[in-house]
Amino acid sequence: MADKTLRAIGSMGFRRVFLGVMDDQENVVKVVTVDESSGGTIELKTSGFSGQLNVEYASNIAYFVSDAGTGTGKIELSMMEIPSDVSTEILGDKLNDDGIYMTTSDVKQPYVAIIAEAQDLNQKPMWIGVAKAKFATTDGNDFKTGEDKGMTPEKPSISGSAITRRLGKLVKTKASNSNGTTLAQFAKVMFPGFTGDLDSTTQTLDNEGHKTDGSSTTSTTNEGVTA
């Protein structure tokens, strides 16, 4: 790879996002997908990864600049609607038998690894990854009346903070299919321990164990079987 001339990685659009739920050992044990069949991704914003430069002065000049490292990242993901698996698996809400999502005072959210997919300027898939993050309970809702132009969806968003993953001291990543990288290769770096197929996360199994079109189910376990 070092001898290969690599293309610059631009981006446009936003197709889908994979949220890998991590266990205490930072292994990804389940993946929740938001895409055109579940939730619909609108925008992903990341910020705050730059570390603070500290400049030391001596002999009336800037003599030394300390290693900045990285800062605490901020993440905001907006969707057309929040899928059920995002509410329960990512945000920690409880779902009762009557279909009511309940956020309790002792809610606990897991750490997640994030893979977001767009396309590069060659119209091939490109990805950015955040190695370890945690999303918080949604801040609130905003209901508005319909007007002459009709009613528009609320377009909710979830926000979180990113930290350094202990494994490999990894913070974030970027790659493009134009440079030969595949989604499976990218997922191997971003989702340690996960052996499922991300492109099959919108499939489910019938009672006989055969794959069907499960557009309403978007989470898969570490064995690649939809949960």
d(CA 166, CA 131): 9
In a domain, 214, yes or no: no
Angle at 169 between CA 64 and CA 23, to 5 degrees: 150
Residue 212 belongs to some domain of the structure: no
pLDDT at 40: 95
Q: Give the count of beta carbons closer than 10 Å to the beta carbon of residue 137.
A: 15
**Residues linked to residue 26 through DSSP beta bridges, in sequence order:** none
41 vs 79: CA distance, rounded Å: 5
pLDDT along the chain (227 residues), means of 10: 78 95 96 94 92 87 82 92 95 95 95 96 95 91 83 90 94 95 95 87 36 42 45
pLDDT tens string 40-78: 999 999 998 888 788 889 998 888 888 777 878 999 999
The DSSP code sequence of 142-167 is -----BTTB------EEEEEE---SG
State residue 219's pLDDT score: 55
Domain assignment of residue 220, yes or no:
no
- How many domains does the chain fold into? 1
DSSP 168: G
Instruction: Return the pLDDT at 200.
Output: 63
Sign, CA torsion 193/197/201/206: negative
Give the separation between CA 101 and CA 37, rounded to whole angstroms.
Answer: 21
Residue 203 pLDDT = 34
In a domain, 53, yes or no: no
> Does residue 61 fall inside a structural domain?
no
Q: Are 46 and 135 in contact (CB under 8 A)?
A: no
Q: Residue 39 is part of which domain span?
A: 12-47+73-197
Chain length of the chain: 227
Q: What pLDDT score was predicted for residue 53? A: 80
Beta bridge pairs of residue 39: 35
Q: Is the residue at 106 inside a domain? A: yes
Q: Could you report the per-residue pLDDT of 118-137, keeping only the tens digit for each?
A: 999 999 999 999 999 999 99
DSSP E strand boundaries for the chain: 12-22, 28-34, 41-47, 55-58, 61-65, 73-79, 94-95, 101-102, 112-119, 125-135, 157-162, 172-176, 203-205, 211-213, 219-221
Residue 53 is given by DSSP the state P
Centre a 10 Å sphere on the Cβ of residue 110 and count the other Cβ atoms it contains.
18
pLDDT at 2: 55
The region that residue 41 occupies, defined by phi over 0 for left and psi between -120 and 50 for alpha, beta otherwise, is beta
Calculate the alpha carbon distances from 5 to 120, 127, 174, 176 in Å: 17, 19, 16, 13
Does 136 map to a domain? yes
Spatial distance between the Cα atoms of 77 and 42, rounded to a whole number of angstroms: 8
Whether residue 30 is contained in a domain is answered as yes
